[in-house]
Amino acid sequence: MTDAAATTKPRETESGPEHVSTATPSGIEVPEVVTADMAGRPDLEGPGQYPFTRGIFANGYRGRLWTFRQYSGFGSAEETNERYRFLLERGQTGLSVALDLPTQCGYDPDDPMARAEVGKVGVSLSNLAEMEVLFDGIDLGGISTSFTINGTAAIIYAMYLATADRQGVARDKLTGTIQNDILKEYVARGTWIFPVRPSMRLIADSVLYSIDETPRFNPISIAGAHVRDAGVTAADEIAYTLANGLAYVDELVRRGGDINRFARRLSFFFYVHMDFFEEVCKFRAARRIWAKLLKERYGVTDEKALMFRFGVVCGGSSLTAAQPYNNIVRVGIENMAAVLGGAQSIFTCAYDEAFQIPTETSAEIALRTQQIVAHESGIARTVDPLGGSYYVEWLTDRMEDEIMRVIGEIEAMGGAVRAIEEGRIQQMTAEAAHRRKQAQDRGETIVVGVNAFRNTGEDQDFGEVFSLDPALSRRVMEKLEAVKDRRDGKAVAKSLDQLETAAAKDDANLLPYLVECCHAYATVGEMVATLKGQWGEFEEPIRL
């Protein structure tokens, strides 16, 4: 992949290193001055026009601001519901649900594998009763909800539908997104459960089912965020994501899906890191590439199906535990890049997220960051205000070239699915992470407070400290036991038997069966165990 190391060695001064790198983190060498003839593209299309370089909407944010989300979830459903109410009262306009590792990996809280991790990095959500508590007092028909979940995404989506059914909310009123992107899990995060092919089936089932059942809900958010945090460059992040997107399109076409219908519901999700102009330009290039690929390769004719809709996280691995208040500045810069890049949904990390679950205070600062950018900065007044900049147009073209080069490499390997099954993308991601770490260790990439401008001999001020209740795991298990005691055991067994029978058939869509399991209060662990019995588990390839 590309070499992220800067080409200029830092010069040490009394106050610290002093240099400006001459290459972007993706390895694109930047001229000292970009001129009009270098920028080219005098006929750049307008916003809302194919191939959407300048944005998918003609009026940008003047018609509607992006959705303000804060990724949140911890402990029990009751605690997380309280945090959601807190954020909504302060002006948040959408929910972003963090699930704990047991839920992500398909274990119930009473499983010995799960007990030590219950509620630690997200909310424990093992059955419908817990989701009913999670959204107690929150109108699902009036709020957009995003779930960051992959291995068990189809189950959580089914549970959300069952919760809406219990609230009396029509499914066609539901808006939001479920991440549901398993391919990047094999590469970057590891919360996979099943082998690649049956996992692709579950994703296709979700997308095809959603077209009619939840036409305003995005059944997949194809995510580059986690490979970026794992160490790849901005260009690689977009390339890997679009290659995965093409794999999902191929699977849906193979299943008989109408691409002009299902492509409208495909969305994307990325991290925004600190190289401001590269981040803006990667989104402009991604919109252009995706529209061209769908139109030229698949013959998509519906213009709305060509639109590249995406959400972002501002933060992630760009934040540091050292000098944590610096992260407020980092997130502000990244938030500006996301807006100037045209994001539809933005989540801003709290400054303490590098080392703990955010406190109410830090979460509110992160939300206020978005509100200040939206209402005080003025950058939302006009569409693509950086459009026409010699440098921005030049760098957008260079990013497009680099992204397409990497996509070509993946396609030469047989496409994303085969490359992942053979462990090749995993290996490339690890190598990129190693290069990024070396660049930081050598001081070629400056991270303020980490490898430069450190305050030696001073204690770190981490501000308010968040702590989980040590009795949480026991309480969650007691609630699960109570659900099992009061549910109809025969209905549970019947729903799981029907799920098993359907899973054994290649042509059955599993979503209706998963929804029935949820209505019967079958648990995530029970449904996953049923599917494991048919499909087995993914075994990670080893490349030497």
Mean pLDDT score across all residues of the chain: 92
Percent of the chain with pLDDT over 90: 82
In the chain, the amino acid numbered 270 is: F
What per-residue confidence (pLDDT) applies to 8?
A: 41
Mean pLDDT value of segment 286-315: 97
* The residue type at 97: V
Q: Specify if 522 maps to a domain.
A: no
Q: What are the pLDDT digits (tens) for 217-233?
A: 999 999 999 999 999 99
Q: Which amino acid is at 314?
A: C
Instruction: Report if residue 344 sits inside a domain.
Output: yes
16-18 and 11-13 as β-strands: parallel, antiparallel, unpaired?
Answer: antiparallel
Domain annotation covers residue 266? yes
| Cα distances (angstroms) measured from residue 527 to each of 105, 230, 428 | 12, 30, 34
Indicate if the pLDDT at residue 1 is higher than 50. no
Residues 154, 202: contact at Cβ < 8 Å? Answer: yes
Expressed as residue numbers, the domain containing 413 is: 11-441
Range in 90-99, 260-269, 288-297, 482-491 the model is least confident about: 90-99
- Structure confidence by residue, pLDDT tens digits, 152-171: 999 999 999 999 999 999 99
Instruction: Quote the distance between the C-alpha of residue 134 and its chain's center.
Output: 21
Residue 86 sits in a domain whose CATH number is 3.20.20.240
Residue 27 falls inside a structural domain = yes
On whether residue 520 sits in a domain, the answer given is: no
Q: Could you tell me the pLDDT band of residue 459, with boundaries at 50, 70 and 90?
A: low
Q: What is the percent of the chain where pLDDT is above 70?
A: 93
Q: Predicted confidence band at 488 (pLDDT cuts at 50, 70, 90)?
A: very high
pLDDT value at position 400? 98
pLDDT at 457: 67
Whether the predicted pLDDT of 5 surpasses 50: no
pLDDT in tens, 340-389: 999 999 999 999 999 988 898 999 999 999 999 999 999 999 999 999 99
Residue with tokens 């070499």: 3
Average pLDDT score over residue span 8-24? 61
Residue 463 resides in a domain: no
For residue 3, is pLDDT > 50?
A: no
* pLDDT (average), residues 16-40: 82
- Residue 517 maps to a domain: no
pLDDT tens-digit series, residues 435-444:
999 999 999 9
From CA 424, how far away is CA 475, in angstroms rounded? Answer: 43
Mean pLDDT along residues 489-509: 97
pLDDT of residue 128: 98
Task: Indicate whether 468 belongs to any domain.
Answer: no
pLDDT at 6: 39
**Beta-ladder partners of 346:** 68, 312
Please give the tally of structural domains in the chain: 1
H or E element at residue 516: helix 511-519
